[in-house]
Structure 1
């Protein structure tokens, strides 16, 4: 079932979202300061490509204050607009019963986009 839902997700916009995240990641990695942020954007691209069958959890080896500081910087670099976009799409998809699973995936992406540092992606 996850494969079927991922195929539908990719066809109806997931591929475009993942490409946008990859392009922004490459742009951020052009500077040395932007490399950590680019790596987090790659994490977003991975989940945006195949969100069904993945779970986002707090990393047991998170760096505490460093993750918190990087998340605060991330909010100002672009995390808040990305999270709000996914939140809006999640609400839009949840209008219909058929769109609810896709809305839930956008909510998952919004949470990851809001605080990507200190999170790991687990496939199940």
Structure 2
């Protein structure tokens, strides 16, 4: 597992497998990650080591449901986290990072969509 550094570019990998620094092929999406606090960096490392030590895929591995734009899909993904061997470490990382989108540690952390349109104004009498 590689350490995340300010301005580092990592490949968007399968969830549950942890990010990997790569020289991405042109077909792969590249993400510029912000710096992590030392606490978040440590939690990220512990999560990656725990995933590697399980020798079996996590429920989120190989699926984009955990980052879906559809709330129903994310809700089903969060249910799939039940019984995951790294659930608590995943939640600890998300709290330390803090991850603001997607399902982390069995919790959908994606903010609710803002209402569309102009706000209503009250008519004064």
Same fold judged by TM-score > 0.5?
A: no
Larger Rg: 2
Taking structure 2 as the reference length, what is the TM-score of the superposition? Answer: 0.30
